[in-house]
Amino acid sequence: MSAKEVNLKQKDILFEEGDPSNALYFVKKGAIRLFRRKGEGKIEIDTVRAGSVLGELAFFDGQPRSASAEALLPTDLIEISKGSLDDALSKIPEWLVTLIKTISSRLRAANNKVRMLESLSTEYEVDKHGNRSKEYCFVTTPELLKFSTALLTVASRYGKNEKPDGIEFTSAMLERFATQILQVPSAKVLSLIELLKTVKILKDDLMLTDIRFLDQFIQYLNEQNLTPHEKRQTLSPSGFKILGLMVQNRTQAKPLADSIERLNIGPAIQQAGVPVGQIQELQDQGFIKNITLVSASEVLLDYEGSNLLFLYRVFWVLTEIERLNEEKRKK
C-alpha cells in the first residue's frame, strides 16, 4: 500500500468540514484538533495524538468530512490515499469490506447525534450585567480555574527536580488531570500550556516557574468566579498598559505608610501616548487608591506596593486569554 508523509506546522489546516474525503491519516508525531465551525466560533470535538488515525469515517463511507482538522503542534502524518486502500480492500473477503462500511455508517450516525447536542458545549461571554453576549468564548474563567488547579496539583504532588527557577513535571500527567479529572477539553489544555509559556508561568517541557503565584492566582480566580459579574475586576487594554508602566517604573516610587507607595506616572504615560483619563479606570477597579493630578508631567498614584506585581501577572494571563478568545472568534 503506497503512502506519503505530510508535515504540518502549528495551526496548519489538514482538511475542512465538508471537504471530499480522498485520504486517511496516521499521526506519527504531534497532535491534530478536530472541530466544527459554529458562527464566528468553533466547537471542539476531539484531539488526535501520535499513534492514532483520523479521517477514517469519511474515508470508508464516502461522505464529506464531518469536521475540520488543524495541527495544534508541529505534526507529522502518513497519508494513505483512497485508491491505495481500495486496492488493499479488493484483496480481502467481501463480507469484511461490508462489515467495515457498516461500522463506519453506525459511527457516522452516532456522530450526527453528537452534532445535535453540540450547542450545549458552546460557551459565551457574559457582560457586566450578567447578560450572555453573542461572542463565542474558547476558554472561560471556570476552565482556566480548573486547568490552573490541575497544574498546581501535578506540580506540587508529582513534580521533580525542584530548582530555584521552578519545578519540573510531565505534560502527560498534566493533560490526564486536566482532561480526565477536571474535564477540560484536550485542545484547550494544549492551548493553555502554550499560553502560560507566553506569560512565563511555564517554560520548556515542562517547568512551573512560580508555584506560590499559581496558588494565589487560583484563589483570586475562585473569588472572582464567586463575585457577581458587575463587581468583578476588569481592565481594558489601555488600563493594562498603565498597570504595566507602573510595574516598569516602580523603582522610582516613594514609600508611604502601611505598604502604600506613591509613583509619578506622568512621564511614562506621556511617552507611551496613553490618555491621562484612562487612569481613572484603575481607581474604579481597585488597583490604585488615589490619583493626584498636578500637571501632565506629574500624575501621582498611590497604591499597595506588595500587591502590584501580583495583579499585573494576573491580568497579563487574563489579557492573553482574551487575545486567544478573539483569535478563535476570527477563524
Judged on CB neighbours under 10 Å (0-12, 13-18, 19+), 318 is: buried
* pLDDT, tens only, 228-274: 888 889 999 999 999 999 999 999 999 998 889 999 999 999 999 98
> Looking at per-residue confidence, does 89 or 311 come out higher?
311
DSSP bridge pairs for 79: 4, 25
* pLDDT, tens only, 191-201: 899 999 999 99
Q: Give the model's pLDDT for residue 283.
A: 93
Strand 290-295 and strand 298-304: pairing?
antiparallel
* pLDDT, tens only, 29-48: 999 988 887 666 677 777 88
Q: Give the model's pLDDT for residue 282.
A: 94
Tell me which H or E stretch contains 97. Answer: helix 94-116
Output the CATH code of domain 237-306.
1.10.10.1540
Segment among 49-53, 83-87, 256-260, 267-271 with least mean pLDDT: 83-87
Q: Which CATH superfamily is domain 4-120 in?
A: Jelly Rolls (2.60.120.10)
Specify the domain boundaries for CATH 1.10.10.10 within the chain.
141-232
Specify the domain boundaries for CATH 2.60.120.10 within the chain.
4-120
Q: How many CA atoms lie within 13 A of 244 on its CB side?
A: 13
Assigned CATH class of 141-232: mainly alpha
Cell, residue 210: 512560580
pLDDT band, residue 324 (cuts 50/70/90): confident
Q: How many CA atoms lie within 13 A of 199 on its CB side?
A: 22
Q: What is the DSSP string of 196-227?
A: HHHTTSEETTTEES-HHHHHHHHHHHHHHHTS
Q: How far apart (Å, rounded) are the C-alpha atoms in residues 303 and 289?
A: 5
* pLDDT, tens only, 104-133: 555 555 455 444 443 434 455 555 555 555
State if pTM tops 0.85.
Answer: no
pLDDT at 279 over 60: yes
